[in-house]
Protein backbone atom coordinates (compact mmCIF):
# COMPACT_ATOMS: atom_id res chain seq x y z
CA UNK A 1 0.00 0.00 0.00
CA UNK A 2 2.99 2.34 -0.24
CA UNK A 3 2.80 5.20 -2.70
CA UNK A 4 5.03 5.26 -5.79
CA UNK A 5 8.48 6.69 -5.14
CA UNK A 6 7.73 9.87 -7.09
CA UNK A 7 4.39 10.56 -5.38
CA UNK A 8 4.12 13.73 -3.27
CA UNK A 9 3.78 13.33 0.53
CA UNK A 10 0.34 12.67 1.95
CA UNK A 11 -1.17 15.83 3.39
CA UNK A 12 -1.42 15.46 7.18
CA UNK A 13 -4.20 17.45 8.82
CA UNK A 14 -5.00 17.75 12.53
CA UNK A 15 -8.02 19.45 14.10
CA UNK A 16 -7.94 20.30 17.80
CA UNK A 17 -11.58 21.38 18.11
CA UNK A 18 -14.46 18.90 17.80
CA UNK A 19 -15.53 18.62 14.15
CA UNK A 20 -19.25 18.10 13.30
CA UNK A 21 -19.71 14.80 11.49
CA UNK A 22 -21.56 16.30 8.54
CA UNK A 23 -18.76 18.83 7.95
CA UNK A 24 -16.17 16.05 7.93
CA UNK A 25 -18.15 13.97 5.44
CA UNK A 26 -18.62 16.98 3.17
CA UNK A 27 -14.88 17.65 3.20
CA UNK A 28 -14.01 14.01 2.51
CA UNK A 29 -16.38 13.70 -0.42
CA UNK A 30 -15.04 16.85 -2.05
CA UNK A 31 -11.44 15.87 -1.39
CA UNK A 32 -11.89 12.34 -2.74
CA UNK A 33 -13.32 13.74 -5.97
CA UNK A 34 -10.44 16.21 -6.28
CA UNK A 35 -7.88 13.45 -5.70
CA UNK A 36 -9.51 11.29 -8.38
CA UNK A 37 -9.24 14.20 -10.82
CA UNK A 38 -5.60 14.78 -9.95
CA UNK A 39 -6.43 18.20 -8.47
CA UNK A 40 -5.44 17.50 -4.84
CA UNK A 41 -3.00 15.45 -2.85
CA UNK A 42 -3.87 12.41 -0.80
CA UNK A 43 -4.86 13.34 2.74
CA UNK A 44 -5.14 12.00 6.28
CA UNK A 45 -7.25 14.02 8.71
CA UNK A 46 -7.06 13.40 12.47
CA UNK A 47 -9.96 14.72 14.55
CA UNK A 48 -12.58 14.10 17.21
CA UNK A 49 -16.35 14.34 16.79
CA UNK A 50 -19.12 15.41 19.17
CA UNK A 51 -21.05 12.32 20.39
CA UNK A 52 -22.81 10.63 17.46
CA UNK A 53 -23.86 7.20 16.23
CA UNK A 54 -23.15 6.41 12.59
CA UNK A 55 -24.66 3.59 10.58
CA UNK A 56 -22.73 2.13 7.66
CA UNK A 57 -24.04 0.32 4.61
CA UNK A 58 -24.62 -2.91 6.60
CA UNK A 59 -26.27 -1.30 9.66
CA UNK A 60 -29.35 -3.10 10.97
CA UNK A 61 -32.15 -1.24 12.73
CA UNK A 62 -32.23 -3.73 15.59
CA UNK A 63 -28.63 -2.81 16.44
CA UNK A 64 -29.67 0.75 17.31
CA UNK A 65 -30.72 0.00 20.87
CA UNK A 66 -31.23 3.55 22.14
CA UNK A 67 -30.68 6.73 20.10
CA UNK A 68 -28.94 8.58 22.92
CA UNK A 69 -27.10 10.76 20.42
CA UNK A 70 -27.78 11.95 16.85
CA UNK A 71 -27.78 9.12 14.32
CA UNK A 72 -26.18 9.67 10.92
CA UNK A 73 -26.52 7.22 8.02
CA UNK A 74 -23.33 7.10 6.04
CA UNK A 75 -22.06 5.40 2.91
CA UNK A 76 -19.02 3.80 4.53
CA UNK A 77 -18.83 0.06 4.97
CA UNK A 78 -19.74 -1.55 8.26
CA UNK A 79 -22.56 -1.31 10.76
CA UNK A 80 -23.30 0.99 13.71
CA UNK A 81 -20.48 2.65 15.60
CA UNK A 82 -20.02 5.52 18.01
CA UNK A 83 -17.82 8.59 17.67
CA UNK A 84 -17.12 11.06 20.41
CA UNK A 85 -14.54 12.96 22.45
CA UNK A 86 -11.58 10.87 23.54
CA UNK A 87 -11.67 8.81 20.36
CA UNK A 88 -9.10 9.54 17.67
CA UNK A 89 -10.70 9.37 14.26
CA UNK A 90 -8.36 9.27 11.28
CA UNK A 91 -9.97 9.82 7.89
CA UNK A 92 -7.85 8.34 5.15
CA UNK A 93 -8.14 9.67 1.60
CA UNK A 94 -5.76 7.63 -0.55
CA UNK A 95 -5.59 7.03 -4.29
CA UNK A 96 -5.61 3.25 -4.72
CA UNK A 97 -5.13 3.63 -8.46
CA UNK A 98 -1.58 4.73 -7.68
CA UNK A 99 -1.09 2.32 -4.81
CA UNK A 100 -3.00 -0.94 -5.18
CA UNK A 101 -6.58 -1.48 -6.35
CA UNK A 102 -7.41 -3.91 -3.58
CA UNK A 103 -9.94 -3.03 -0.87
CA UNK A 104 -9.02 -6.00 1.30
CA UNK A 105 -5.37 -5.02 1.15
CA UNK A 106 -6.31 -1.50 2.23
CA UNK A 107 -8.30 -2.77 5.22
CA UNK A 108 -5.44 -5.09 6.15
CA UNK A 109 -2.99 -2.18 5.95
CA UNK A 110 -5.25 -0.04 8.14
CA UNK A 111 -5.43 -2.85 10.70
CA UNK A 112 -1.64 -3.16 10.61
CA UNK A 113 -1.38 0.59 11.19
CA UNK A 114 -3.53 0.38 14.32
CA UNK A 115 -1.79 -2.74 15.62
CA UNK A 116 1.63 -1.13 15.26
CA UNK A 117 0.41 2.02 17.00
CA UNK A 118 -1.04 0.05 19.91
CA UNK A 119 2.24 -1.83 20.27
CA UNK A 120 3.97 1.49 20.93
CA UNK A 121 1.84 1.70 24.09
CA UNK A 122 2.39 -1.89 25.16
CA UNK A 123 -1.00 -3.13 23.93
CA UNK A 124 -1.32 -6.25 21.77
CA UNK A 125 -3.96 -5.61 19.15
CA UNK A 126 -5.11 -8.47 16.94
CA UNK A 127 -7.21 -9.22 13.87
CA UNK A 128 -10.14 -11.59 14.02
CA UNK A 129 -11.63 -13.47 11.07
CA UNK A 130 -15.11 -12.24 10.34
CA UNK A 131 -14.76 -9.21 12.62
CA UNK A 132 -13.29 -6.10 10.99
CA UNK A 133 -11.31 -3.89 13.34
CA UNK A 134 -8.71 -4.50 16.01
CA UNK A 135 -9.32 -6.50 19.18
CA UNK A 136 -7.55 -7.19 22.48
CA UNK A 137 -7.90 -10.28 24.64
CA UNK A 138 -9.39 -9.80 28.12
CA UNK A 139 -8.56 -12.98 30.08
CA UNK A 140 -9.76 -11.34 33.32
CA UNK A 141 -13.33 -11.14 32.00
CA UNK A 142 -15.98 -13.87 31.82
CA UNK A 143 -15.60 -16.29 28.93
CA UNK A 144 -18.23 -16.98 26.30
CA UNK A 145 -20.80 -19.78 26.53
CA UNK A 146 -18.49 -22.09 24.64
CA UNK A 147 -15.45 -21.15 26.70
CA UNK A 148 -14.27 -18.51 24.24
CA UNK A 149 -11.77 -15.94 25.48
CA UNK A 150 -13.33 -12.56 26.25
CA UNK A 151 -12.23 -9.91 23.77
CA UNK A 152 -12.84 -6.19 23.41
CA UNK A 153 -12.72 -4.03 20.32
CA UNK A 154 -10.37 -1.07 20.62
CA UNK A 155 -10.53 0.27 17.08
CA UNK A 156 -13.13 0.28 14.31
CA UNK A 157 -12.53 0.47 10.56
CA UNK A 158 -14.99 1.59 7.91
CA UNK A 159 -14.02 2.77 4.44
CA UNK A 160 -15.68 3.77 1.21
CA UNK A 161 -14.22 4.07 -2.29
CA UNK A 162 -15.09 6.50 -5.05
CA UNK A 163 -13.18 6.17 -8.32
CA UNK A 164 -10.64 4.11 -6.34
CA UNK A 165 -10.07 6.90 -3.82
CA UNK A 166 -10.71 5.91 -0.21
CA UNK A 167 -12.41 7.97 2.43
CA UNK A 168 -13.72 7.45 5.98
CA UNK A 169 -11.14 5.37 7.86
CA UNK A 170 -10.39 4.34 11.45
CA UNK A 171 -11.56 5.18 14.97
CA UNK A 172 -9.18 4.37 17.84
CA UNK A 173 -10.52 4.49 21.39
CA UNK A 174 -8.02 6.45 23.45
CA UNK A 175 -10.14 7.61 26.40
CA UNK A 176 -13.80 8.00 25.35
CA UNK A 177 -16.76 7.46 27.68
CA UNK A 178 -17.33 3.76 27.00
CA UNK A 179 -20.88 3.91 28.37
CA UNK A 180 -21.79 5.85 25.22
CA UNK A 181 -21.41 2.63 23.23
CA UNK A 182 -24.35 1.08 25.15
CA UNK A 183 -26.90 2.67 22.82
CA UNK A 184 -25.83 0.38 19.97
CA UNK A 185 -24.62 -3.12 19.27
CA UNK A 186 -21.18 -1.93 18.08
CA UNK A 187 -20.58 -3.28 14.57
CA UNK A 188 -23.45 -5.71 15.15
CA UNK A 189 -21.59 -7.61 17.87
CA UNK A 190 -23.90 -8.95 20.60
CA UNK A 191 -22.00 -11.90 22.11
CA UNK A 192 -21.63 -11.50 25.87
CA UNK A 193 -17.86 -12.11 25.84
CA UNK A 194 -17.22 -9.42 23.22
CA UNK A 195 -17.15 -5.75 24.20
CA UNK A 196 -15.47 -2.41 23.69
CA UNK A 197 -12.36 -1.03 25.33
CA UNK A 198 -9.89 1.85 25.13
CA UNK A 199 -6.31 2.60 26.04
CA UNK A 200 -7.53 4.23 29.24
CA UNK A 201 -9.73 1.22 30.08
CA UNK A 202 -6.66 -0.99 29.66
CA UNK A 203 -4.77 1.13 32.16
CA UNK A 204 -2.71 3.02 29.58
CA UNK A 205 -2.44 6.74 30.23
CA UNK A 206 -1.74 8.35 26.85
CA UNK A 207 -2.19 11.93 25.75
CA UNK A 208 -3.84 12.36 22.39
CA UNK A 209 -0.71 14.07 21.07
CA UNK A 210 1.35 10.99 21.89
CA UNK A 211 -1.17 8.80 20.10
CA UNK A 212 -1.10 11.15 17.11
CA UNK A 213 2.69 10.96 16.94
CA UNK A 214 2.58 7.16 17.01
CA UNK A 215 -0.13 7.09 14.34
CA UNK A 216 1.91 9.29 12.06
CA UNK A 217 5.12 7.36 12.57
CA UNK A 218 3.48 4.03 11.81
CA UNK A 219 1.46 5.43 8.91
CA UNK A 220 4.67 6.53 7.23
CA UNK A 221 6.17 3.06 7.68
CA UNK A 222 3.20 1.40 5.97
CA UNK A 223 1.89 3.99 3.52
CA UNK A 224 4.71 6.50 2.89
CA UNK A 225 5.75 10.06 3.68
CA UNK A 226 3.47 12.76 5.09
CA UNK A 227 3.61 16.55 5.23
CA UNK A 228 1.89 19.05 7.53
CA UNK A 229 -0.56 21.59 6.14
- 84 labelled ligand-binding: no
What is the gyration radius of the CA atoms in the chain, in angstroms? 17
B/e letters for 184-197, b = 16+ CB within 10 Å, e = fewer, are bbbbbbeeebbbbb
- 154 labelled ligand-binding: no
Length of the chain measured in residues:
229
- 76 labelled ligand-binding: yes
- 223 labelled ligand-binding: no
B/e letters for 95-129, b = 16+ CB within 10 Å, e = fewer, are bbeebeeeeeebbebbbbbbbbbbeebebebeeee
- 78 labelled ligand-binding: yes
Determine which one of 187, 194, 196, 199 is catalytic. Answer: 187
- 77 labelled ligand-binding: yes
- 32 labelled ligand-binding: no
User: Is 121:197 a contact under the CB 8 Å cutoff?
Assistant: no
DSSP secondary structure code for residue 126 in this structure: E
- 200 labelled ligand-binding: no
- 188 labelled ligand-binding: no
- 21 labelled ligand-binding: no
- 53 labelled ligand-binding: no
Burial of 89 (0-12, 13-18, 19+ CB in 10 A): buried
User: Is 28:167 a contact under the CB 8 Å cutoff?
Assistant: yes
Can 187 be counted among the known catalytic residues?
A: yes
Calculate helix-pair angle for 208-222, 103-119, nearest 10 degrees: 130
- 156 labelled ligand-binding: yes
Annotated binding site for substrate: 76-83, 156-158, 169-171
- Which residues are catalytically annotated? 187
Binding-site entries = 76-83, 156-158, 169-171
Amino acid sequence: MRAPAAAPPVEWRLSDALVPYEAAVSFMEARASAIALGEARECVWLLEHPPIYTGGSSAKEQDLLEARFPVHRTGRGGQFTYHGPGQRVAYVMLDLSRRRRDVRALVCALESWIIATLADFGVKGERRAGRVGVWVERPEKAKGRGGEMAEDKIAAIGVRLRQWVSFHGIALNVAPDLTHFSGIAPCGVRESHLGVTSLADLGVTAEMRSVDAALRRNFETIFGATEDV
